[in-house]
Amino acid sequence: MTLPISDLYESRYEREAAIVVRREPVVHQDESFNAPRPLSPELLQEYLQNGFLLLPGLFSQKEIAALNGEVESLASEPNIRKRQECIIEPESNAVRSIFMVHKLNRMMEQLSCDRRLVDIARQVLASDVYLHQTRVNLKPGFEGKEFYWHSDFETWHIEDGMPEMRAISFSILLTDNTVFNGPLMVISGSHQYFISCIGETPEENFRQSLQRQQFGVPDHDSLKMLCTLGGIRSMTGPPGTVVMFDCNIMHGSYGNISPYPRHNIFFVYNSVHNALHDPRYGLQPRPEHIAARDSISPIKPIMCDFSEGLSFDDPKIQRIRRA
């Protein structure tokens, strides 16, 4: 009997780690799905092979200035810091992440529907998409801590019940991401392998894992194998660069001991055909702001212009032209 794909990715229940070859496509195909194709065949092939793409200059410097201003306002707002969506660094009072930013801020909501992002997600996944997760990640100078190596899909599969590898992440660089301030690092080609991790997941693991991940992290031998095959790449670039990467690629980042902050916006688009099931092993679903279950309507792409830093409650909203 052939097992469903979702049953082939077991993790966190064996005493030993395991490596499973990916079964789903990286770039999906559906001839009946008619949508724009902003990525060239050459870029699609690069994404297929490496599991990521760097897209420089996708947003202008004026747009980035406006978006960065919104993020800094969110992070400094006392009421935001009290909310469950806001994650504080475990050893300082610095904001580490703010989840569900598209619900907390009107400009972030519009950005999440921007066709520069959504059209790419729809092309790669060959379907309509919805937002599985959104957040801003902040690494202030001297205080920003590391994110250890992990595959997002491993967590989303076990703790959220995501059936298949049919999701894609976008990181919008709001500040210079350099080798000095803890940039995202990926292991090229690692998206083709699922690493089964060791350790039973405790209930409400998200309460500590969003500060420091202990479960769902790969063993050293598996990491060495992946690095030998593909090598580590640092996702550095100026503000306005967008990093897109497969949901299963192994990635992480080191701490920021430089004086230079690192601010990124993070959107995860999931196929509407890949909506969440129950979490594995009887775990309770994580909160909606971490893994969307209720808000899974297909996104309608829109054309945005953030260059004047508009509030989207402004009468000049006509600058946002719906497709």
Alpha-carbon distances of 90 from 98, 202, 306, rounded to whole Å: 14, 19, 34
Residue 7 within any structural domain of the chain: no
Amino acid identity of 262?
R
Beta bridge pairs of residue 262: 139
Residue 240 within any structural domain of the chain: yes
C-beta of residue 144 within 8 angstroms of C-beta of residue 261: yes
Per this entry, what is the length of the chain?
323
Residue 158 within any structural domain of the chain: yes
Q: How many CB atoms lie within 10 A of CB 270?
A: 28
C-beta of residue 301 within 8 angstroms of C-beta of residue 118: yes
Residue 232 within any structural domain of the chain: yes
Task: Say what percent of the chain tops pLDDT 90.
Answer: 68
> What pLDDT sits at residue 320?
34
> How do residues 215-265 score in pLDDT, each as one tens digit?
568 899 999 999 999 999 999 999 999 999 999 999 999 898 999 999 999
Domain interval for residue 91:
53-306
> What pLDDT sits at residue 197?
85
Which stretches of the chain are DSSP H helices?
A: 41-50, 61-76, 78-81, 101-104, 106-112, 115-125, 152-155, 206-209, 220-230
Residue 45 within any structural domain of the chain: no
Residue 12 within any structural domain of the chain: no
pTM, 2 dp: 0.89
Q: What is the mean pLDDT of residues 158-184?
A: 96
CATH of the domain at 186: 2.60.120.620
Amino acid identity of 39?
L
pLDDT category, 96, cuts 50, 70, 90? Answer: confident
> How do residues 46-87 score in pLDDT, each as one tens digit?
999 999 999 999 999 999 999 999 999 998 888 988 898 998
- Write out the DSSP string of 167-203: EEEEEEE-S-B-TTS---EEETTGGGEEEEPPSPPPT
Please give the tally of structural domains in the chain. 1
Residue 13 within any structural domain of the chain: no
Place of tokens 């699609």: 44
> How do residues 104-162 score in pLDDT, each as one tens digit?
999 999 999 999 999 999 999 999 999 999 999 998 888 877 889 999 999 999 999 99
Amino acid identity of 273?
H
> What pLDDT sits at residue 217?
82
Distance between CA atoms of 37 and 41, rounded to whole angstroms?
9
> What pLDDT sits at residue 202?
54
Distance between CA atoms of 75 and 90, rounded to whole angstroms?
16
More confident site: 17 or 122: 122
Given a cut of 70, is residue 101 above it in pLDDT?
yes
pLDDT category, 6, cuts 50, 70, 90? Answer: low
Residue 140 within any structural domain of the chain: yes
